[in-house]
Amino acid sequence: DQQVKQNSPSLSVQEGRISILNCDYTNSMFDYFLWYKKYPAEGPTFLISISSIKDKNEDGRFTVFLNKSAKHLSLHIVPSQPGDSAVYFCAASGAGNNRKLIWGLGTSLAVNP
């Protein structure tokens, strides 16, 4: 059972436009959410996070929105750049002390010049 779901395996966007990546979760005990970017043959790179007590967090071109009632979060990248082309993973952390991350399957973003 996939507790964190990224239902779009891929997304293609024009350079300069907005990229919106979506993530849904099923476990209401998750209290912290993170987005990572991953290039092939490299480890994930942390992008941005949000606590469940907030509904928005912004860092430069990246904004994450959290809708707790819908158990849904999204990552907005604006403006999108060709260097943003990568696989984006949504991850969630539970209230337990270990804070292990539960991951979605990822969305492959292609930003076209």
Partner 1 sequence: DTGVSQDPRHKITKRGQNVTFRCDPISEHNRLYWYRQTLGQGPEFLTYFQNEAQLEKSRLLSDRFSAERPKGSFSTLEIQRTEQGDSAMYLCASSAGLAGASYEQYFGPGTRLTVT
- Residues in contact with partner 1 by CB under 8 A are 4, 32, 34, 36, 41-46, 49, 51, 89, 91, 93, 97-106
| CB of 3 or CB of 15, closer to partner 1 | 3
Query: Shortest gap between Cβ of 97 and partner 1 (angstroms)?
Result: 8
Q: Where are the beta strands (DSSP E) in the chain?
A: 4-5, 10-14, 19-25, 32-38, 45-51, 56-59, 62-67, 72-77, 86-93, 101-103, 107-112
Selection from 24, 50, 53 nearest residue 35 by Cα: 50
| CB of 35 or CB of 77, closer to partner 1 | 35
CB 77 within 8 A of CB 88: no
Query: Shortest gap between Cβ of 105 and partner 1 (angstroms)?
Result: 5
CB 49 within 8 A of CB 32: yes
Query: Shortest gap between Cβ of 43 and partner 1 (angstroms)?
Result: 4
| CB of 41 or CB of 70, closer to partner 1 | 41
| CB of 52 or CB of 74, closer to partner 1 | 52
